């Protein structure tokens, strides 16, 4: 009987130490590639940004992302660039950059599905805040967590009137995609 109690204590102590080492850590954004793509009556278009700020609070164990408890990623609207100044200005005006300087994602919850994640959170764009679910691939290499995914939406869902040019002869499509590859360390 005494031997069983000793084994029980060792088991409880082992579990305590194992779970104690799974404490959540804060990882900051160290690299990001964000791209918004869409269409127009003239040609397809894209705007890119390679800078965002934010953090992820989660647990990494044995090079696996075990949990994501908190996450926030923010990008300045003016970090998005198409390579064409005139197009950028029209886009910034449409995104109401004079009042709303950032595009923002704030996590509500994260659920692991096989090797991927479903991130449930708030996406704020042009001042409109919408609840969204993002399907994201996540991996860990060394001490770096990488999240890759996309989100397709309508500009009008966020109160953005699709921009026009040349007196309305060129019209932007309402459907756009946000593609992202964000690294946290």
111 is in which domain, residue-wise? Answer: 23-184
| Three-state SS sequence of 18-84 | HHHCCCCEEEEEEEEEEEEEEEECCCCEEEEECCCEEEEEEEEECCEEEEEEEEEEEEEHHHCECCC
Q: 153-164: per-residue pLDDT in tens?
A: 999 999 999 988
Rg, C-alpha atoms of the chain: 21
Query: What's the rounded Cα separation, in Å, for the pair 180 and 7?
Result: 49
Averaged confidence pLDDT in the chain: 90
Please give the tally of structural domains in the chain: 1
pLDDT beneath 50: ranges in the chain:
13, 15-20
163 falls within a domain: yes
Q: Report yes or no on 87 lying in a domain.
A: yes
- Other CB atoms within 10 A of residue 99 CB: 8
Residue 9 resides in a domain = no
Q: Which residue, among 100, 102, 93, 104, has the nearest Cα to 162 in the 3D structure?
A: 93
Pairing mode of beta strands 164-165, 144-154: unpaired
Residue 13 located in a structural domain: no
Q: How many residues does the chain have?
A: 185
For the full predicted model, state whether its pTM sits above 0.75.
yes
At 57-82, the pLDDT tens digits run: 999 999 999 999 999 999 999 999 99
Residue 36 lies in a domain: yes
**Cα 39 from Cα 167, distance rounded (Å):** 18
Give the pLDDT confidence score for residue 165 in this predicted structure: 77
Would you say residue 6 lies in a domain?
A: no
Q: Identify whether 17 is part of a domain.
A: no
Q: How far apart are CA 148 and CA 20, in angstroms?
A: 29
CATH number at residue 72: 2.40.128.110
Q: Is residue 3 part of a domain?
A: no
- Distance from chain centroid for Cα 78: 18
């Amino acid at each position: 009987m005494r031997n069983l109690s000793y084994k029980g204590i060792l088991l409880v102590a082992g579990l305590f130490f194992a779970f104690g080492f799974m404490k959540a850590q804060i990882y900051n954004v160290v690299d990001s590639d964000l791209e918004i793509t869409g269409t127009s009556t003239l040609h397809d278009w894209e705007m890119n940004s390679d800078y965002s700020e934010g953090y992820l609070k989660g647990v990494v164990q044995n090079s696996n992302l075990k949990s994501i408890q908190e996450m926030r990623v923010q990008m300045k609207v003016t970090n998005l660039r198409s390579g064409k100044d005139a197009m950028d200005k029209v886009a910034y005006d449409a995104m109401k950059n004079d009042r709303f300087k950032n595009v923002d994602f704030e996590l509500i919850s994260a659920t692991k599905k096989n090797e991927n994640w479903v991130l449930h959170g708030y996406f704020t764009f042009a001042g409109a805040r919408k609840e969204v679910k993002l399907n994201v691939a996540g991996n860990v290499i060394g001490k770096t967590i990488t999240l890759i995914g996309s989100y397709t939406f309508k500009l009008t869902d966020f109160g953005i009137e699709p921009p026009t040019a040349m007196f309305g002869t060129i019209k932007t499509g309402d459907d756009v995609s946000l593609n992202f590859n964000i690294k946290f360390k």
